Amino acid sequence: MQGNSLILYKAISKIIHSTRVSKGIKYTDFCYENDIPMSSYDVIINASAQSSYYNIARVVKALGLSFEEFGKMLDEELPDDFMNNEE
């Protein structure tokens, strides 16, 4: 993964991680209580590979975020020229 894909997945990672931490939810508790495999969560948080949109959506919803809220957060996290860069 490189270029815009890496930038996007790192932004998603940062939002999800910071939201979980700000809510005071432990990593293992979050995964267990929401039936999210730790391996799936790890891929999202480490931006080590492209996560499925389904897994990202599950995590976003488990954090109590609407897709609208998540989209706004993502828009704020991405660089202003994100869509102007080519891979």
The CATH class for the domain spanning 3-79 reads mainly alpha
Q: Which of 35, 57, 32 is nearest to 44 (CA)?
A: 57
Q: What is the pTM of this model?
A: 0.89
- Specify the pLDDT at position 83: 79
Q: What is the mean pLDDT of residues 12-32?
A: 96
- Specify the pLDDT at position 81: 86
44 φ, ψ (degrees, to nearest 5): -65, -50
- Specify the pLDDT at position 86: 59
- Specify the pLDDT at position 1: 62
Given a cut of 80, is residue 84 above it in pLDDT?
A: no
Using CA atoms, how far apart are residues 82 and 31, in angstroms rounded to an integer? 31
- Specify the pLDDT at position 50: 87
Using CA atoms, how far apart are residues 84 and 12, in angstroms rounded to an integer? 19
pLDDT, one tens digit per residue, over 34-79 is 999 999 999 999 998 888 999 999 999 999 999 999 999 999 999 9
Domain ranges of the chain: 3-79
